[in-house]
Structure 1
């Protein structure tokens, strides 16, 4: 990968769950090393489908996905993980019957090495998880489970982390806490793709953003510019049009 190449580039991708019924309709998307990029848009726009397609859970019918200079279309998710990408799905993102510590170990199952130092680095980032390391994940609060899901994905120190709706179903206080953790992970050098229904908050913290609509990238730009764009505000942020 040359110094000027994006970390990840999605090129004219079509993908869906049913043959001949594509949800993604020729999406183009990129993220640079260390960037935080928000993906927003109405329900059904294809946001989660984009994340799943990037991570190899769906195979595009057309187009390329280039990660660290290599086309990863056709690779399985575990192969993509080993190339330096992590993914936190919106639901079913922890093993509820396992302890916090066992969940973290599952996040690094591909490594054939002692995991203690990796676990301790996650615990230092999420002290609440350290306090609950022997507790079953199913007994954690929603916010704690979200932190555990992110910690599990960080065990392999990915260069890119895909987060699918990390604030879903959380209280406002917990939303702020989770977003602060995301900001801190990004400050420490991990590039983040943030798929998020809380569009305003996502754009406020993003370097750049994409607005998806009907499976296409309708708007793209700096987070702050999209936040202040009247068209984006009217269509996606609930801002009334001036008369």
Structure 2
């Protein structure tokens, strides 16, 4: 799976929200076609900042970001979308006043193709959304909103999907459901960068993982190896080596 060129490569990137105050401190990260790679670490480690920088919501002042072999650092988000990458933020990820169906249509705003087959594909993947297709998104449960946000992104048939804390504020049952959907999307061939607070669950299902600390990539390896690494367990998983 890691043969050939990376789909996305972040090299020595420094970025932040305030001038001269970098949250990312020379970070390195890569994902190969079809991989599911998770990014974990304590609060304030730079996980969401990394996702926003990759997607063009923040411009790095040093380093490079290559997507499909081409430099994207400095491009706007809409230009990055057109190259085949989508981002689902943790909050404000649906249009609450629009229906489920209208949200999906908004998701495909840059595609000049018939939308009905795309919508039906999403409704097959998320039957709960099909049941609520005429319902306003603002009336959905947290889990349903998360499914809609992912469905909206999938309307663009992305090569790479960035998910920022998809399990945040969800009940344990809904967390399992959302993670199962993420796994299925990945098995369908979409590469996924999963930024997650639920480190154990994310590492269990990831091909590879990165552990961030203070804006740097402290550990990198197969998800299962990181999960069972006593140093990672002690520092970031709130326990010693998992048995």
Q: TM-score range by the shorter chain?
A: over 0.9
> Which one is further off, 110-119 or 167-176?
110-119
SS of aligned partner of 1:29: strand
Partner of 1:190: 190
1:74-223 aligned at under 5 Å gives the runs: 74-223=74-223
Residue aligned with 2:193, SS: strand
Distance 1:114 1:204 in 2: 38
Measure the CA separation in 2 of the matches of 1:150 and 1:161. 9
- Whether the 8 Å CA contact 2:97–2:138 is kept in 1: the answer is yes
Q: Residue 167 of structure 1 aligns to a residue in which SS?
A: coil
> What's the offset of the Cα at 1:240?
4.0
- Give matches, 1:4-83, under 5 Å: 4-83=4-83
Q: What secondary structure sits across from 2:218 in the alignment?
A: strand
Number of residues paired by the alignment? 240
Structure 1 residues 176-203: Cα deviation after superposition (integer angstroms, max 9, x where no partner): 0000000000000000000000000000
Shift of 1:112: 2.4
Structure 1 distance, partners of 2:81, 2:120, is: 21
Q: 1:147-178 CA deviation, whole Å, 9 max, x = no partner?
A: 00000000010010000000000000000000
Residue 231 of structure 1 corresponds to 231
- Give 3-state SS (helix, strand or coil) of 1:60's partner: coil
CA distance in 1 between counterparts of 2:216 and 2:199 reads 17
Q: C-alpha separation between the residues in 2 aligned to 1:61 and 1:236?
A: 29
Q: Counterpart of 2:212 in 1: which secondary structure?
A: strand
Contact 2:38 2:193 in 1 (8 A): yes
Cα RMSD (Å) of the superposition?
1.1
Whole-Å separation in 1 of the counterparts to 2:37 and 2:223: 8
Tell me the distance in 1 between the aligned counterparts of 2:138 and 2:86. 22
Counterpart Cα distance in 2 of 1:156 and 1:113: 10
Shift of 1:125: 0.5
For the residue of structure 2 that corresponds to 1:80, the secondary structure is helix
Q: CA separation in 2, counterparts of 1:119 and 1:206?
A: 28
Q: How far is 1:223 from its partner? A: 0.2
Name the CA distance, whole Å, in 2 between partners of 1:67 and 1:167.
Answer: 26
Give me the whole-angstrom Cα distance separating, in 1, the residues matched to 2:202 and 2:159.
20
Distance 1:73 1:236 in 2: 30
Cα deviation code 1:91-134 (max 9, x no counterpart): 00000000000000110111223211111111110010011000
Q: CA deviation at 1:74?
A: 1.2
Whole-angstrom CA distance in 1 between matches of 2:111 and 2:146: 23
